Structure 1
Amino acid sequence: MDSAVGAGTASAMSSIDPLISSNATMVGWTPEPSGRGTLSLITTCMLTMFICTWVVIHRRVYSQVTFGQLHKAALFLKAIIAPEFIAVEGLQEWSQAKKIVATCADYKDEEGKSMELIHAFYIGMLALRYKTSKSHDSARVIWPNQYVWLLQNGLVEWKDHAKWGLAKRDIEDKSNTDGFAKATALVQVFWFLAQCAMRAAHNLPLAPLESMTISYIPLFTATYFFWWFKPKDIMSPTVVELPVMTSAQREEFEDLAISYDFDDEGLPKQVSLWNVWALTPRVFEKEYGIRIKRERRQAQEIPYGGTKGGPEVTVNVAEQVVWKEEIVVAHWDPDLYGSKLWPLICVFGASFGGLHLISWDTRFPSYSELWLWRAAAMASVVSLLVFMHYPRVVLRWGGPLTMLSIISPAIYLLSRIVMICGAFAAFRWVETSLYDTYVVSDYWIHVL
């Protein structure tokens, strides 16, 4: 009986040993007298994440420098917590800029050149504004669709774009692109990936924090590609005088405004610190709103057939129907969402959680922490794919499926918190081989 119990216990222990090592092979905080230690491991990962995130961020333009810096800090936190969504934002801004350039391709300057991506990005990042009569320093954003409207109606000409602060050289001069920071980020990423690859070649484990750091790199690379021509850290907008318009033209122009939350008129939403967390509205959202309003107006006009053979009477019930303002959680560009590339975009976005599974067999301080890490990584992948399945997510009850679209980002956020906490908590008890090193000179001998 005792032997059977002993055999069963030994069998159970052997099934756990491959995942959770004995105390003899596990260590806590490890100093680094001459090699790899806990502090150097953490600082290397943190430095790689920080420099990649800071270099890739391209904030929008504010009149107040403080708001601009706070917006950059908000983007930094968003990129650390959810780099997939920053990558998608970059993709949607790039897509909008491409469409604006294509729309304005027929408008050329004296040298035969038309609008380029740098111009479209500059306008799209709220850097172009016009003066209003409310006060001497009040101004409103000229949105991309408004500028296109001005061109199409002959109120401005592209040959005069330099007078509006849209000369390519002027934009490049205002852009604070740091070549040294880019080079540093490139070298740091290359060296970090090389170290991880060499550890894998020597069958040495990676810490969960290292797996997390690797996961950021593909998404930040994609984001930087989309924002390659986007000006960086513009400190102040270009403020211009609008051309003379009729009252009807001015009304039509102002109706094209996508939002008033980013204007400089002192309104509560414009001066609120919550403004720095808001996403930059895009043209397709305005087009969607116009289409929905048109459909609602048509729905409110109910044709009523009178007596037989008599004329139909249209009953307007607009005053009887009140449409509540929607709280939009996410809205994907329909040109991207309906394209054949969207499934690939979703899979690429899900790669962030998937790459965390590099640490699938990493030994954690406890068995429960190991499975919590695995579950969180898989939950982040599934929840993101579910969330991106919906073209538009709104906070309202519309049945179980719509609730799934609202719950999925909450599950994603929870899984990210679990993975971030788990990556650092794992250092309190790790296998000793995590701190083993290899001799780099051996590789140089083979190369030479």
Structure 2
Amino acid sequence: MMWKEKIQPILLASWLNYYALLVRYACRKNIHAAYQHNTYQAPLRRKQVNDDSSQPKYSLKHLLICGPFILVKFKASMDPTITALPRLHASAPNSTPQENGTNLVGWVDESPNRGTQKLISSCCFTIFICTWVVIHPRVCNRKSVAFLHKLALFLKSIMAPELIAVEGLQEWSQSRKMVRNCEKYTEKEFKLVHAFYISMLGLRYRTERGDKVIWPNQFEWLLENGHMEWRFHKSWGLDESDIKDKSSADGTVKMAALIQAAWFVVQAIVRAAHNLPLAQLESMSLSYIPLFIITYFFWWNKPRDIHSPSVINLPQMTAEELSTFEKMSISNLFDNEGTVEQTSYWNVWALTPRVFEKEAEDKALEVEKAAYEAFIQAQYGKEPTGKENLRRDDNDPELGNYGFGDTRASRSCASLPLAFQPKPRDIVVAHWDPDLYGSKIWPLACLFGASFGALHLISWHGTFPSIAELWLWRASGLASIGSLLVFMHFPKVVFRWGGPLTIISLVSPAVYFLSRIAMIGGVFAALRASDPRIYDTYAILNYWIHLL
């Protein structure tokens, strides 16, 4: 589908909405004038309606023909001190409900000003744009798993959009690194879209029991060792046009979502400029927008909602080369060979592992292995030489099971200290890219992450049903900022005792999520007794165009 065909329905709906709003505004201008002169009558009795020549009168024909020019005239003639219709309980610009004696209000029906339903729908729509629309899930073979995985990412982005933004940053960084590494083997034709496609598990190879993922480091190894030639990349399913055809991501939709989010920000600025308070729900909605824009920036070239990976046959290799290739695999949880771990629905919550995690694991293994060999040499005056000295003797019943990967220690290692005993696999809570963590961009990432909780505090002086709820909101906002900064301070957080700092590293994400739950509950609970001024509107805010 051409881009013109995609954008035509959006433009048509926008113009229809535009003219409908012009007609609505023209009618309300005349009704407002009639209110001022106390001559308003039912619309059916046309001859009794005020005939003040000073008020503009526009027919439908004039609106349709001269719409753009009339809109300019309307904007120039709008009185910024009034709304479309007079408010029954207008408040002083800088006063609170307690100061001017106005009672708090609960549910407010739709009126010439906005009502509770419109407020909630507008905010929820903005949050939806900043979460569901921005999500770019990995490639899943099964549709049920694909939907559940996207739903899991949606819930994560609702609760912790900062972490989704950091995930986007890490994937963008890995993809750029992959492009640099593959340039010399692909005549600089390897682009970000290819790197993203491989990183999101879009390229697989057939096996006897199904198919397995080709990870970015494995793909680079295949190119580097001449097992793949870039001139045949179309047969691998890596043609750029084919990837974009399989993807549902579209620049027009992304731009429309950005415009919608930008308009929500404009509304908030206009309200603040005219001393109209924001609802707590609006403050929370605003908090998603900066992270939404940042995540979109990192994932702009990433394909979206691809349900069918490219499955290829591996080229001919020696047994040693195949073993080396398979050992480079980052994880087998995302392979499709029918194992219990691979078919578990718990995998929908898992983020896609990154190459730096595998590199860190291999490096730790090498350090541990070197320490093991040094211990054997110091203990027995002899250095292990090959697999024979490290392989378990099946005829010796006293052998211990010590090793690294598939390697087993001999009976001479039965007295190994605890440091060299096999350890259970760590449960990793978070692991940041070392290249990013040590770079100048990481403090900036922490700052943008803290902006989410900070923007909630726009409602620091907002009206809440009780003092307890007010201070719970404030404390939760501050706790979310502090706990996130502490959490991002640790390069890796695992469920393993490593000293007193382990408690801080594990408690900080728990505090963050508890504060987020309190803040989400607080914004909706506050609507049962709110400042009535949050429903007052400035005239221009009633005449805007939804692009989505």
Q: When the two structures are superposed, what TM-score results if normalisation uses the length of structure 2?
A: 0.73
State the SS of the aligned residue for 2:382: strand
CA RMSD of aligned residues (A): 2.1
Q: Which residue identity lines up with residue 470 of structure 2 in the other structure?
A: L
CA distance in 2, matches of 1:369, 1:401: 32
State the SS of the aligned residue for 1:29: coil
Q: Which residue identity lines up with residue 321 of structure 2 in the other structure?
A: Q
**Does residue 88 of structure 2 align to residue 25 of structure 1?**
no
Deviation per residue, 1:154-198 (Å, 9 max, x gap): 111112111101011111111112455434423321221111111
CA distance in 2, matches of 1:19, 1:78: 37
In the alignment, which residue of structure 1 is the partner of 2:198?
A: 123
Change (3 A) 1:231 1:441: closer
In the alignment, which residue of structure 2 is the partner of 1:85?
A: 163
Given the alignment, which residue of 428, 431, 435 partners 1:331? 431
**Does residue 428 of structure 2 align to residue 350 of structure 1?**
no
Aligned residues: 418
Which is higher, the Rg of structure 1 or of structure 2? Answer: 2
Change (3 A) 1:442 1:93: closer
Change (3 A) 1:441 1:416: closer
Given the alignment, which residue of 71, 75, 94 partners 2:149? 71
How far the C-alpha of 1:105 sits from its partner, in A, is 1.0
CA distance in 2, matches of 1:287, 1:305: 29
How far the C-alpha of 1:211 sits from its partner, in A, is 0.3
Change (3 A) 1:263 1:283: same
Change (3 A) 1:99 1:217: same
**Does residue 243 of structure 2 align to residue 171 of structure 1?**
yes
Q: How does 1:25-424 map to 2 (within 5 A)?
A: 25-108=103-186, 112-134=187-209, 138-179=210-251, 181-301=253-373, 302=375, 304=377, 312-314=381-383, 318=403, 319=409, 320=416, 321-424=421-524
Change (3 A) 1:23 1:406: farther
Is contact 1:21-1:431 (8 Å) kept? no
How far the C-alpha of 1:290 sits from its partner, in A, is 0.4
How far the C-alpha of 1:268 sits from its partner, in A, is 1.1
Is contact 2:97-2:104 (8 Å) kept? no
CA distance in 2, matches of 1:117, 1:209: 37
Q: Which residue identity lines up with residue 427 of structure 2 in the other structure?
A: I
Deviation per residue, 1:300-350 (Å, 9 max, x gap): 1215558xxxx9434787544122211000000000000011111101111
Name whichever of 398-407 and 434-443 sits farther off.
434-443
Identity %: 56
Change (3 A) 1:427 1:162: same
How far the C-alpha of 1:210 sits from its partner, in A, is 0.3
Name whichever of 69-78 and 326-335 sits farther off.
69-78
Q: Which runs of 5+ in 1 are unaligned?
A: 1-16
Q: 4+ runs of 1 displaced by more than 3 Å?
A: 17-24, 178-181, 303-306, 314-320, 441-444
Is contact 2:97-2:103 (8 Å) kept? no
State the SS of the aligned residue for 1:89: helix
How far the C-alpha of 1:434 sits from its partner, in A, is 1.3
CA distance in 1, matches of 2:326, 2:99: 67
CA distance in 2, matches of 1:429, 1:142: 55
State the SS of the aligned residue for 1:440: helix
How far the C-alpha of 1:245 sits from its partner, in A, is 0.3
State the SS of the aligned residue for 1:313: coil
Deviation per residue, 1:194-249 (Å, 9 max, x gap): 11111101111101110000000000100000001101111110000000000000
Change (3 A) 1:305 1:36: closer
Is contact 1:42-1:209 (8 Å) kept? yes
CA distance in 2, matches of 1:322, 1:59: 35
State the SS of the aligned residue for 1:129: strand
In the alignment, which residue of structure 2 is the partner of 1:427?
A: 527
Change (3 A) 1:382 1:252: same
Deviation per residue, 1:368-414 (Å, 9 max, x gap): 11111010001000000000000000001112111100110000000
Is contact 1:20-1:365 (8 Å) kept? no
Q: Which residue identity lines up with residue 124 of structure 1 in the other structure?
A: S
State the SS of the aligned residue for 1:139: strand
Q: Which residue identity lines up with residue 190 of structure 2 in the other structure?
A: M
Is contact 1:19-1:361 (8 Å) kept? no
Is contact 1:132-1:139 (8 Å) kept? yes
Change (3 A) 1:412 1:20: farther
Q: Which runs of 5+ in 2 are unaligned?
A: 1-94, 385-389, 391-401, 404-408, 410-415
In the alignment, which residue of structure 1 is the partner of 2:45?
A: none
